[in-house]
Chain A
């Protein structure tokens, strides 16, 4: 487990959706079973890069998410590895019954890739922002749920997702993401990644909030508070062992995520910690509200999802 002690400097890498688009296109050469089912947003989700190289294996079924998921289920049942991709909000919310009945219940090998997740998509506003997708995906029995924090892990996540037999939800973002993992890093499904060590509390984060947690780590260190930082690229299955160690070693766990309070990483961490090794818990998330239009930076600031918000919550938590 690598744990850096050098200060975190924000260095923007590619958006996770861009890394996905490249990784998928590249994997298409070695894995001929991969096919893409698109809902007419391939230029946004980046599956068009796969489609340009493999036009016969690319199906744009139009603006029809329910049908899109059903078609993917049929392709999987006939031995393909369909990657069905759209904005996470439309894919999960519009086609939830199809994900439930046509994919999860028969446990088909469909890869569900939701892009433009979270409020960091910015100006397009709440109709396009998936803020409940962890809760929905985790409510599909048998689904693996992956949330890469950056470009390197997005590449790795695509490889892990395709290699994994069974349904997967992969959550991706629109904006460029700060680098938190080394280029070429691997991603093991079900494993947390320790990025910093500390003894006063553990910050558990995923997606863009992992970079915020690393920034917060340094700010907290200046205050004499030493935080362990764990990136959780897999929400299900959850790395319970890493949580138990964190609870035992640091006594406080703060969960940071770009998601509603209900049903996200905070919920599953609280259940695991409560069951195995209870400790004091804190949360940084969207609460119970929709966001609005604005720049990604203004939204993250207004809705409480920046490093200073993590610092503030951490200070409160360790004082408990």
Chain B
């Protein structure tokens, strides 16, 4: 058995919420810094997801020994919304699976930190994603294998809310429910914005939770930036038997930096060097530089 990755604990024995929140703030800086340095990438799509990833990897949810990221009985996390790769790389570095220095090489030729995750090149990446819609099916395959092998591992898949417009996701939702895949959890980063516009103006399929429930999934609906709520939702889904589970996490694209939050057109657009300075000041609660 792989030992459960140690979670930061407060004196009461639970995860240290203050530490988790400060970690998420730091990783927001990593996301901004690496995409600004690269001159491209999707920082805002990464910032909406990062609190959930920090809870998963550093809140004691994901059973992943950073020194054995391919252990057969590890929990799996698949980032189906592959454009949020900077968030995945930041949390893999924080967890010690990859080096923090490697974040400087995002999108540089020769680096395994490609624009979208490449499982062949980077430890800790469970699926090569970037063509939206494919991760949940892959996760279901892992769930089937875990069941066949008698492993108790869980598979978590994060999709974007725009990605939920892909038909394949619903094929996977249908079949996961049919097979009672209770070792599979879908997390939807429901940030309400996609490439060309706000989600309601593109294809408004809301409400999402009701649709997932209609497919016989167990659904938790939370604020995806509320650390205690995220941890509680993960605890809840782990207790569900006989059904796959979804966490519909309402998030804000670009969360933590007001001028990115205010403009969905930051999709796929890095901050400039001066915007990075402003963003860091805001994240750190320091006065805005002139």
Name A residues whose Cβ lies closer than 8 Å to a Cβ of B: 35, 37, 56-57, 59, 61-62, 64, 66-80, 82, 97-98, 100-102, 105-107
Contacts and interface: CB of A to CB of B under 8 A. Distances in A.
B120 interface: yes
Given A79-B145, A106-B128, A70 B134 contact: yes
A35 to B, nearest CB: 7
B126 A77 contact: yes
B175 interface: yes
A98 B168 CA distance: 10
Contact of B171 (A66, A74, A97, A100): A66
20 contacts: A35-B148, A37-B141, A66-B167, A67-B168, A69-B137, A70-B138, A71-B141, A71-B172, A71-B175, A74-B140, A74-B141, A76-B141, A77-B142, A78-B142, A78-B149, A97-B131, A98-B168, A102-B127, A106-B127, A107-B120
Contacts of B259: none
Contacts of A70: 134-138, 140-141, 168, 172
Given A78-B142, A105-B128, A106-B120, 17 more contacts: A59-B144, A66-B167, A67-B140, A67-B172, A69-B137, A70-B138, A70-B140, A73-B141, A74-B127, A74-B141, A78-B72, A78-B146, A79-B72, A80-B148, A102-B138, A105-B118, A107-B120
Contact of A78 (B120, B134, B141, B167): B141
A58 to B, nearest CB: 11
Nearest to A74: B141
A64 to B, nearest CB: 4
Contact of A67 (B137, B145, B148, B149): B137
A81 to B, nearest CB: 11
A102 B148 contact: no
Interface of B: 72, 118-120, 126-131, 133-146, 148-149, 155, 167-168, 171-172, 174-175, 178-179
A61 B134 CA distance: 15
B174 A64 contact: yes
B128 A75 contact: no
A101 B134 contact: yes
A73 B144 contact: no
B230 to A, nearest CB: 25
A73 B138 contact: yes
A97 B149 CA distance: 29
A75 B119 contact: no
Contact of A74 (B72, B131, B139): B139
A70 B170 CA distance: 13
Nearest to A71: B141
A232 B179 CA distance: 41
A179 to B, nearest CB: 37
A38 to B, nearest CB: 11
B133 A66 contact: yes
B128 A101 contact: yes
A66 B174 CA distance: 13
B144 A71 contact: yes
Closest A-B pairs by Cβ, 6 of them: A74-B141, A70-B137, A78-B145, A67-B171, A64-B171, A74-B138
A72 B136 CA distance: 12
Q: Counting chain A CB atoms within 10 Å of each CB, which of B136, B144, B174, B178 scores highest? A: B144
